[in-house]
Chains A and B, each alone.
Chain A
């Protein structure tokens, strides 16, 4: 489904170049469950942002479902993010003014889904993450684990091909982290492709495969 070939991502800082990714080649098949591990600053988030079409590689190619993402227009990249990619972040990034349901509806709002259907699908997604009794709560009325489950519901509500999670448990206590991981495991068991960045070896061990990055390079594959 996804193929990264000879990918570089270079930042120019002052006179020097910082290589956030060096010559990364990686394939991710449909239904995979991949953990990306590595020390801080090793390029994990950079990799995820490129996979999620939020960032562009400096060189190398990225194919998604057979299409070269480097070649397509901004409009098509936006479309790809909208329909094929779901994001989960370490700090949830829920809009505090919206309820759980409102947050889950957001991607559908920008995709032009009609109101009634938005509502129905949001409620379904919240049910799938076990928050049926919290749909009208705002983020400040939810625990961290619940917030992250809302964020996961939001990430999958468009039924994307690829779910990306950047340290989804990084801001949670152990119990909440386990809940979130169980949810991601279950989604993967249902066929959802998941790519997960984590520092936590325990979390990484749950994934079917893993890569370790260091200084922008993939140094180990499992």
Chain B
């Protein structure tokens, strides 16, 4: 008996019991829809983070003070040297592999204009940040170029900050107060959204020297180093570490590459997605027990049919195949319906949250179809065996 004929026979039998078929299909469908939707969300989270971090550029090095990795060697004297503006200048100018670099110093201060005031994150940096972070200027310009030690009083506003303080009015050329300090607005960023933990719409930029003075800091928060597009990331990293080790007389900085960050997050979130899929699969087991139940009922209800098929010369194996096929068709159909439902849920979700890149990975689609089929076969075995071993004489008694 060919598979096609088995399936046709199974579909015929299932159509005879519509309500029961619909209910067990629904059971599997819910399980599969859950798998599909949850993996789509997990995958979406993974893509979101990866995109976020990748938008920095894959040829970026991030230098932070202090040794994060355990090398067994404590930095000299156990102290960590500050990452200074001079360090930044050395990295930017003295390493041939480095295309450009930008320092980051951070703090939080109250920004006032007119009667309005609000607390904003402040980033001290230089003109180079525009290129390094691919910033777009909506109005005016970014901080003026030149010596990073020149502590000017210019300020660039994130778009949200500008709107809240100035409304429709142009902030360009206006004087604002950051804490006790007066700044002149020279530019406003285009909307940018969140990136690497900062909301670029909700912060302000000032010259790096100025910010270190305001916040009384001696160390930079980060140095962002951009290498040429085709540059050797490892060589660049080595050069930066060597230079700073020479300047600090100890290897006391950490340099992370874009790839390392992305790869780590990528694998963490990949595992998370798998975990979500596994949790959702539990509902498939429930659906499988449902199928087993339905098939057991079908076997006792169709005793006559089974007896008849035996009398007509169907073998034990064929009857086994008939009932397992029926269970598999039931659950696979449930899988397809669940796939559709999960997909529809994701489409609806993306309508509401367009920025979240939710998408069902192909492996999840394939796996859930295979899983639904396996569930049917697995939970179909017991009822099918019962059918196959029914005594034909007893099965045929009566109507």
Q: Which residues of A contact B (CB under 8 A)?
A: 49, 52, 54-55, 74-75, 78-79, 81-83, 85, 87, 89, 91, 93, 95-98, 102, 106-107, 109-112, 115, 154, 158
Contact = CB atoms under 8 A, between A and B. Distances in A.
B393 A81 contact: no
A98 B12 contact: yes
Interface stretch (B171-179, B195-203, B309-317): B309-317
Nearest to A151: B308
Nearest to A95: B305
Given A78-B315, A91-B399, A106 B309 contact: yes
A111 B398 contact: no
B75 interface: no
A97 B16 contact: yes
A107 B16 contact: no
A74 B315 CA distance: 9
B294 interface: no
A82 B15 contact: no
A55 B5 CA distance: 29
B366 to A, nearest CB: 31
Contact of B313 (A79, A96, A97): A79
Given A95-B305, A96-B16, A110 B312 contact: yes
Contact of B15 (A81, A97, A112): A97
A110 B313 contact: yes
B304 interface: yes
Contacts of A154: 312
Contact of B312 (A55, A87, A96): A87
A93 B1 contact: no
A124 to B, nearest CB: 18
Contacts of B311: 52, 54, 81, 87, 93
Interface residues of B, number: 26
Contacts of A96: 16
Given A110-B1, A110-B318, 16 more contacts: A54-B393, A54-B396, A74-B316, A78-B315, A79-B313, A81-B310, A81-B311, A83-B313, A89-B396, A91-B398, A95-B305, A97-B16, A102-B12, A107-B313, A112-B2, A158-B313
A106 B16 contact: no
Contacts of B312: 81-82, 87, 106-107, 110, 154
A98 B392 CA distance: 21
Given A110-B318, A158-B313, A93 B16 contact: no
Interface in B315-361: 315-316, 318
A194 B304 CA distance: 23
B1 A109 contact: yes
Nearest to A78: B315
A75 B392 CA distance: 15
B9 interface: yes
Contacts of A81: 310-313
B317 to A, nearest CB: 9
B12 A109 contact: no
A110 B315 contact: yes
Contacts of B16: 96-97
Given A91-B398, A91-B399, A54 B310 contact: yes
14 contacts: A52-B311, A54-B310, A78-B315, A79-B313, A81-B310, A81-B313, A82-B312, A82-B313, A82-B314, A97-B15, A106-B309, A107-B313, A109-B9, A110-B312
B306 to A, nearest CB: 11
A109 B8 CA distance: 11
B13 interface: yes
B310 A97 contact: no
Contacts of A106: 309, 312
The 3 closest A-B pairs by CB, nearest first: A82-B313, A110-B314, A97-B16
A154 B309 CA distance: 12
Nearest to B304: A93
B398 to A, nearest CB: 7
A98 B310 CA distance: 17
B65 to A, nearest CB: 77
**Residue from B5, B304, B313 with most neighbouring chain A CB atoms (10 Å):** B313
A103 to B, nearest CB: 10
A109 B3 CA distance: 12
B304 A111 contact: no
B130 to A, nearest CB: 72
A85 B392 CA distance: 15
Contacts of B1: 109-110, 112
Nearest to A118: B5
Contacts of A111: 313
B294 to A, nearest CB: 17
Nearest to A111: B313
A38 B307 CA distance: 25
A95 B310 CA distance: 13
Contacts of A74: 316
Contacts of B315: 75, 78, 110
Contacts of B307: 93
B314 A95 contact: no
A55 B396 CA distance: 12
A102 B15 CA distance: 15
A219 B83 CA distance: 115
Contacts of B393: 49, 54-55
B316 A110 contact: no
Contacts of A110: 1, 309, 312-315, 318
Nearest to A74: B316
Contacts of A54: 310-311, 392-393, 396
Contacts of A79: 313
